[in-house]
Structure 1
């Protein structure tokens, strides 16, 4: 993996993440083989359940209408040979390396257009410093992520399932492994279906993120020339906010009002994606995942950091993980309220075109989205 980024040596970032990151729980070979096979099977088995419960289908998919006992066509359809992308069961280091590849694909074109290298004075030392920061961050995050659907990597969109984290989570929560693995895959395959049903979504998000990155990078370049005391103050404010419980990250400190508004709109879309996947993974019900209620209850406590050391709680805030949790819950509340108003088919209008995505205001006021889209 090579990159021309003026800010980050991506290959080195992946190597740092691998060296710094913890490898995960230890298990006998037979148990690890069962884990990998179980995750692959769960990813495959989740697809028909996700198609059924969401009432969505990939763009351009072949469908056939079903008949009832009398031979008459019903409203239900079956998607034939759905293609939601590839599935890879990976370790933590591989997850981190895949993310450096995707991050490079998203950020390098923007940085090249801005000619950041010329503005900063391109140097290997600067790129290695960026690699150390990104690699360290990915090493920490690689211990938390259970699964991730990646539409931005090379080749086909890919679902990454992080085997050691799934194993650690099901051990810590003492949940049924078969149920938990399927439950995780229901969430991630819902993400895969979102992007397959709305093929414009990946480019739309990339464009939004690219626009924000341009603005934030410009501010960051200016900050790089600021006195050392200003840089130290930035880090200090971020850590203080995290300890106090404010949902801020270092990037928040260099954003102006317009940039924060852009971020709020991107966050609204991410809240929709995460909230929709959270609602759908539970909607399959106990017939598919018998212990779903137990899993959800224990998983929510784990998300909230119940029993976690104070240092881990602060780290979660610095990494922005609490903000991510707020996305799940705000998005899920939005989805549930929309379904009360217009049903699941009415909700699915959100995937029709970019203009139907909710704004930041509408995530907090679902009825405003209904009035705008369904009036």
Structure 2
């Protein structure tokens, strides 16, 4: 980790855009310890086994037809930064293309520093990621495991690494199940994101688009929690409790950064979405819950997430 090199990369930001993305990656990598990635053949096979077992269990529990991505990577933190820098760039491109500032050089340095800080923070905290590669030119999907973070968190939580790794694998495969069962979901999210970002680039706020995006992500996170509850082949209440306690125990700066990056919103999406699907499964069954992926019109509205009975009535379930 080299903080001087990171600062130098940010202050040396150049180019014509609002963000120097090469400098973003250089600064994020320089300020982040990549972590060890000395993975044995046995451990690589253990990751693959976890993913295969999760796929089999989730297919059975959710009555879903899907497969896991061809790209399954065990990464260090720098690998994750490299993989996600393009996602940041794609999301920000419409805003950049419409942005004009009075002092371009100063603004570029500030923007570059902000993006590199966000990317580095996430790179040090993400455990696993199912990536549908939104706004990419291809329809490729990928599954990432950031091994140094998984090892560190398992150690800090005082839980067995193999068990924690398996739990992370099951959670990420639930997301693969959702996008695999709903081929329309990627396009739906991309269109909603495009509408919201395009409005921001014009200096306006499309509240409807952002509410739709929040609602869809609440469904995505909530359904994943439902599948985890039914599919994981072991007890994990202690894992979740320890993770929640660790989040609550973060310092004020870390809590501020998490709020700024919307990670608090993600937790709310987990909880609200899970409550919706738990009630649906209790009144009907898990298979009924999977109806949300049949077509976009089956997604619950924002109001229906808090009133699952209304959703069941609307779909005659």
Query: Normalised by the shorter chain, which TM-score bucket?
Result: 0.7 to 0.9
Match of residue 268, structure 1, among 215, 221, 225: 215
The CA distance in 2 between the partners of 1:129 and 1:279, in whole Å, is 41
Q: Taking structure 1 as reference, are residues 185 and 196 closer, same or farther at Cα in structure 2, changes over 3 Å only?
A: same
Matches within 5 A, 1:75-224: 82-108=67-93, 110-111=94-95, 115-116=97-98, 119-120=100-101, 126-152=107-133, 156-219=140-203
2:32 counterpart residue number: 21
Q: Quote the residue 1:338 is aligned against.
A: 280
1:38 equivalent to 2:52? Answer no
1:354 lines up with 2:296 in the alignment: yes
Report if the CA contact (8 A) 2:221-2:274 is conserved: yes
1:194 Cα shift? 0.9
Give the equivalent residue in structure 2 for 1:321: 263
For residues 84 and 103 of structure 2, what CA distance do their matches in structure 1 show?
A: 23
Cα distance between partner residues in 1 of 2:105 and 2:72: 35
CA distance in 2, matches of 1:120, 1:299: 42
Shift of 1:125: 6.0
What residue is the counterpart of 2:252 in the other structure? 310
| Separation (CA, whole Å) in 2 of partners of 1:137 and 1:166 | 19
Mapped contact 1:17–1:135 kept (Cα < 8 A): yes
Structure 2 distance, partners of 1:293, 1:140, is: 27
Distance in 2, Cα, partners of 1:90 & 1:5: 32
Q: Distance in 1 between matches of 2:266 and 2:32?
A: 21
Q: Pairwise CA RMSD of aligned residues?
A: 2.7
| 5+ residue gaps, structure 2 | 1-14
Deviations 1:102-153 (A, max 9, x none): 2333443x358xx526x45895765454332111111011122111111115
Shift in Å, 1:22: 3.6
CA contact 1:10–1:131 (8 Å) conserved in 2: yes
User: Residues of 2 paired with 1:48 and 1:308: CA distance?
Assistant: 36
Asked if 1 retains the 8 angstrom alpha-carbon contact of 2:280 and 2:308, the reply is yes
Aligned length: 300
Using the TM superposition, give the Cα deviation of residue 192 of structure 1 relative to its aligned residue in structure 2, in angstroms.
0.8
TM-aligned CA deviation for residue 362 of structure 1: 1.6
For residue 56 of structure 1, the aligned residue among 53, 58, 64 is 64
Measure the CA separation in 2 of the matches of 1:8 and 1:188.
31
8 Å Cα contact 2:221/2:270 also seen in 1: yes
Distance in 2 between residues matched to 1:120 and 1:198, nearest whole Å: 41
Relative to 1, partners in 2 of residues 1:121 and 1:146: Cα closer, same or farther, differing over 3 Å?
A: same
Q: CA deviation at 1:172?
A: 1.1
Is this contact kept in 2: 1:53–1:284, CA < 8 A?
yes
Kept in 1, the 8 Å contact 2:68–2:173? The answer is no
User: Is the Cα contact below 8 Å between 1:35 and 1:167 reproduced in 2?
Assistant: no
Contact preservation (8 Å) 2:280, 2:289: yes
Aligned partners of 1:331 and 1:363 also within 8 Å: yes
Q: For structure 1, which segment, 326-335 or 358-367, has the greater mean C-alpha deviation from structure 2 after superposition?
A: 358-367
Q: How far did 1:302 drift?
A: 2.8
Cα offset, 1:346, TM superposition: 1.5
Question: Within 2, Cα distance between the matches of 1:128 and 1:40?
Answer: 41
Give CA deviations for 1:44-67 in whole Å, capped at 9, x if unaligned.
Answer: 332111212221112xxxxxxxxx
Contact 2:61 / 2:286 at 8 angstroms: preserved in 1?
Answer: no
